[in-house]
Amino acid sequence: MATATKDLEKKIEALRDKIRHHEYRYYVLDDPEIADAEFDVLMNQLKKLETEHPALVTPDSPTQRVGGKAREGVLKARHSSPMLSLDNTYSQDELRNWERRVHELSGRTDIEYVCELKLDGMSLALHYEDGKLVRGITRGDGTTGEDVTPNVRTVRSIPLSISREKLKEAGIPATFEVRGEMLMPIAAFKKMNEEREQKGLSLFANPRNATAGTVRQLEPSITAQRRLDYFSYALLQNGRTYFERHWKTLSALDTAGFKVNPSRKLVKNFDEIWAFIEQEKTKREKLPYEIDGIVIKVDRTALQEELGYTGKAPRWAIAYKYAARSGITQIEDIIVQVGRTGKLTPVAVLKPVAIGGTTVSRATLHNMDEIERLGVKIGDWVEVERGGDVIPKVTRVVEDKDHPRGHKTFHMPERCPVCEGNVVRTEGEADHRCVNANCPAKLRETILHFASRGVMNIDGMGDALVNQLTERGMVKNVADIYGLTKKDLLSLERFADKSAQNILNEIENSKKLPLERVIYGLGIRFVGERTAQFLAEHFGSMDALMNAKEDELLEVDEVGPRIAQSIAEFFQEPKNRELIERLRKAGLTFAGKKKERGTKLVGKTFVLTGTLPHYSRDEAKKLIEDAGGKVTGSVSKKTDYVVAGDDAGSKLDKAKELGVKVIDEKGMGKLVSGSR
């Protein structure tokens, strides 16, 4: 039996090594050897083996990158040595003076420097013990950062473990610290913002902000979805630089399997430094990530220590920052664009201006809060900045004798400029939105959402068909789908009798789907699949939901003030009620089964913490709610019970502090069943 177990362990570890190799080829070298489908087969084989033999799962297995439980709060951690920021300069003369001071302070003439890209992300320290990743800490204030280890583990360019052989080859000790820059590639940033816009969420301004927000997420699975990347640039042991040269450090990190930016150079004088700066400036626009300058460091570690530090930064390093890509021009008008989610965005119409090799004639003003913050008026002269991450934006108003102020104040319209529907601004939010579900600006995305598999499941109604239907004006809202005829479909490209009939059959079948699907299909902001289900169970009919007051909506599971307000605003729009009546006449399901909850735990509030032996968090929550209880996320004086499992966190401490009763899974079961 022992031999069989050892053989199995070897088989699993060999499979892990193969997966690690392919992760390294794909995420670090950007040079995959196998197709994605082949990689998925390997990963599924490993998952199957580990599921069948859970005792053999190790923390550094590739399967453990994603799916860790949510953190219950922010944990602080001290750095082994300060993570200081660098002094910046935008001037060639200042950079030359820095290099001169390095020579004067050291009394040397033969000094080598390392030039690297200044990546526009956030600094992060990784701690390894016996070659295994044990901790990831954000820069924070330089002395203390946040422990974000569960999130760091989801980033595939960060090794979870490094073999002893690889460490020996690189000359790195078994216990060490790596420092580097976490960032979000531009393509991942754009994709994430598109998805957030479709869901009606606020957009991140740039990849740097998106990276910081992602790394600090309490839910690791969200971090995993956002495809962060990590470039290493320092190696320490016990808080001190390990190698005698920085260039050697970068090479060793590269050998060990860390991702090190290839745009780096060892140089010997100022002229070579400046040549590197100019060379990389020309490549900046084509990089897959954002940079804002070049970092120059003295190569020799002993000389770094000799030069020392000022109060805030090392004397042996400096960051030369590229000038912002901006220009000054005049706002001729401010118009409003309506996005796919109904968000109204004010856009400045500009006198054309050349910025970074591109002619810019429009720039976003984001929302009314931003207009008021900037104090922008039509006719103002403004500075416009163009980055590789977002469309051009207005950054400030320019006011001097050559650039007089404008006098026309902009006001956000009360009616949608596209459909004349109501425009609302939810309390506490910056954005104005059109709430008309029939708004043509939202039409294509609204129909695609309505017809999708998880909603009304109209198979075949994808991009190509929806584009034709909307462009020809055959479908102007989702209710029009149910009025389509075979003749209509046969008039479209690539449609024959059979394909047209298939679509009509799919449309007819969608009428049989339950009430929660119809609610979800309406596209009410913040109402996803799960919330739609809770609404259907609570109200039992579309009519009851339509006529519910906000305080009634707040009684529904997972519906807070913001969601309740959004639902109420949706049903207050007359055009939405007209749409719903048309869907009723088409024969969609408008009645469901109202879920009756138990009464044993009515009025009792629970908080769950830690891992329960027999129930997942969702299963335990459902048990309590089905018995009439309520589950919240934080402990307060109003909490009746805290259900604590293994590895219970700060919520357990809070419960003890407030004198809240703490029970285990068995105690929860007794309360749910009503037994003593």
Catalytic annotation, pick one of 6, 118, 393, 594: 118
Tell me the pLDDT band of 132, cut-offs 50, 70 and 90.
Answer: very high
C-alpha 212, offset from chain centre: 9
Task: Kindly list the structural domains of the chain, giving each domain's residue range(s) and its CATH number in brackets, ordered by start.
Answer: 2-64 (1.10.287.610), 88-321 (3.30.470.30), 326-398 (2.40.50.140), 413-594 (1.10.150.20), 605-673 (3.40.50.10190)
Give per-residue pLDDT as tens, 276-299.
999 999 888 789 998 989 999 999
Give per-residue pLDDT as tens, 338-387.
876 788 999 999 999 877 656 788 898 989 999 999 999 999 999 998 75
Bridging pattern class, strands 641-644 and 605-609 = parallel
Provide the sign of the torsion angle of the four alpha carbons 276, 277, 281, 282, taken in this order: negative
The pLDDT of residue 599 is above 80: no
Distance from first CA to last CA of the chain, Å, rounded? 45
Contact at 8 Å (CB) between 111 and 297?
Answer: no
Tell me the pLDDT band of 388, cut-offs 50, 70 and 90.
Answer: very low
> At a CB cut-off of 8 Å and minimum separation 6, what does 636 contact?
658
What is the torsion angle, in degrees rounded to the nearest 10, for the CA atoms of residue 229, residue 235, residue 241 and residue 243?
-130
Strand partners of residue 354: 359
Q: Which of 160-164, 411-415, 621-625 has the lowest mean pLDDT?
A: 621-625
Work out the average pLDDT over 569-585: 94
Give pLDDT, residue 340.
67
The pLDDT of residue 68 is above 50: no
Give per-residue pLDDT as tens, 308-319.
887 678 999 999
Give per-residue pLDDT as tens, 478-506.
999 999 999 999 999 888 999 999 999 99
Task: Quickly count: other Cβ atoms within 10 Å of residue 173's Cβ.
Answer: 13
Give pLDDT, residue 342.
86
The pLDDT of residue 67 is above 80: no
Tell me the pLDDT band of 323, cut-offs 50, 70 and 90.
Answer: confident
Give pLDDT, residue 358.
67
Distance of alpha carbon 220 from alpha carbon 223, whole angstroms: 5
Give per-residue pLDDT as tens, 489-548.
999 988 899 999 999 999 999 999 999 999 999 989 888 887 898 899 899 999 999 999
Give pLDDT, residue 202.
65
Give pLDDT, residue 52.
81
630 is catalytic: no
DSSP 280-346: HHHHGGG-SS-EEEEEEEESBHHHHHHH-B-SSSBTTEEEEEPPP-EEEEEEEEEEEEE-TTSEEEE
Work out the average pLDDT over 68-79: 65
The pLDDT of residue 72 is above 70: no
Predicted structure pTM score: 0.53
**Amino acid, res. 119:** L
Give per-residue pLDDT as tens, 218-247.
777 788 888 899 999 999 999 999 999 999
The pLDDT of residue 8 is above 70: yes
Work out the average pLDDT over 380-395: 77
Token pair belonging to 248: 């050697």
Give per-residue pLDDT as tens, 250-275.
999 999 999 999 999 999 999 999 99
Contact at 8 Å (CB) between 191 and 141?
Answer: no
